[in-house]
Structure 1
Amino acid sequence: MGFFSRGVVVPVLRFSGAIGMAAPLRPGLSIASLGAAIDAAFSMSRGPSVAVVINSPGGSPVQSSLLFRRLRQLADEKRKKIYVFCEDVAASGGYYLAVAGDEIYADASSIVGSIGVISASFGLDRAIEKLGISRRVYTAGANKGALDPFQPENPEDIARLMAIQRSVHDVFIGVVKDRRLGRLKGPDGELFSGAFWSALDALELGLIDGISDVRTKMREIHGENVRLRVVPVERSWLSGRFRKLPSVLGLGGDSQGLALADDLVSAVEIRALWSRFGL
């Protein structure tokens, strides 16, 4: 009798990190790295729910869209409800993933939002001029060298980039409006300005549905005997090979080698994404 009284199994997907291919040794969140885990989450239990825990400052809009669509396709096919739980931050592409959820929850101190598009670079043309360096670029195609950071800005290039950003932003806005239909409470100019908020303010604006965590909410919905089962994410073959390389070379073992090889390659890009949100 005890066997039949066991609680509902809720698969838990953890999306933690920047979205997209940040570096060869740290692939980040992408359909290639997470697709199999998402498929497994919707197949491992007969229960009606899948939980998704998100801790991401964003990244690639394309990978955000692909992950979002895979989640929604499987939720509709399997007739399961997705519950999303935001940790430190679910912003920009991280919030894009969050709206795949039928309900979104966050910790009171979570950062949520940043519904916008950003492109950042440096202008180095004056620096190389002072150093006596001349830039030599040869292209086939008038716009092939657009936005080269070693050349002065071209207003036409900027206008073209901003048009692309507006198009991507419109897609993002459409997804949020569709998924949060009837729940958004703020004006468009505020909600879609790229601003981000604490979870309490996000709740007031209708960006999330409540303040909670995955264990608490799943026990409220499925009872005290609910079982949370984290879905493992397989490492890539390339990542595994690089994990073994430092010990072969006598560089202090797997963990130290990983820190050296992985963090040095990708820390700058990832740090820049997280630092936008004070993290």
Structure 2
Amino acid sequence: MSNWASQSETSHRLADAGEDASPRRSVLITGGSRGIGRETALLAARHGLRVALSYVAREEEALDVVARIVALGGEALAVRCDVAVEADVVGLFDAAEARFGHIDGVVAGAGIVAPALCLADMPLDRLRRMFDVNILGTYLTAREAARRLSRSRGGRGGAIVLLSSIASRLGSPGEFVDYAGTKGAIDTLVIGLAKELGPQGVRVNGVRPGLIETEMHASGGQPDRVARLGPTAPLGRAGHAAEVAEAILWLLGDGASYVTGAVIDVAGGR
């Protein structure tokens, strides 16, 4: 469970620092319309955060997440954004700041996978789109977060969480070596960016989910993957998106105030 400070505690601390004492924190989540991003958005709202989330094609699902947050008494915003397009990413952050005034946390969760293939059979357009979304998209999101959160640039500090995958350690041979490679790049970004932004009051961490029950497996052409591989994990089952969301919220919150440059496995021991 994350440990976000209460509104009164946050207001008091920011007032003492001479900053805008707005008591409510805000989080921006890319890929927030489904899977881990959706569960992270809903959990953030339950913790009292205002939520901006992005989507590409799943507008109805994104609006459903917003409606569920509003039903919880929260505040949310959904913005169409292809993270591989710089103008989209800048526009997403602009919209969040226009709505909430500031951003305190960023979760780079947008990513794609493709049907299982060996590298020798992967066409160039697949590789280019995989790298554009998963690597370039994450770097653009992290760059904008650095620009908006860094204290030397007028930000209030905060936290960034980048979504990696246990595939970065397993390699995903014969299936998704392209996807695995993109997540390895994210692991490296966590380490370097944490060192860059620590002096700016910004913590940067990553989460490596394992086999998680989400829609991504179907989009990768293996809708039975969870049922087939879940029992092979040391814990004997696949994970749930809500379990990954708990780790993300902890890394965003005050309970992880001395954690930066870390990548946490949420993978049932895989």
Answer whether TM exceeds 0.5 for this pair: no
Q: Higher relative CO (CA 8 A, sep ≥ 6), structure 1 or 2?
A: 1
Higher-Rg structure is 1
TM (norm. structure 2) is 0.32
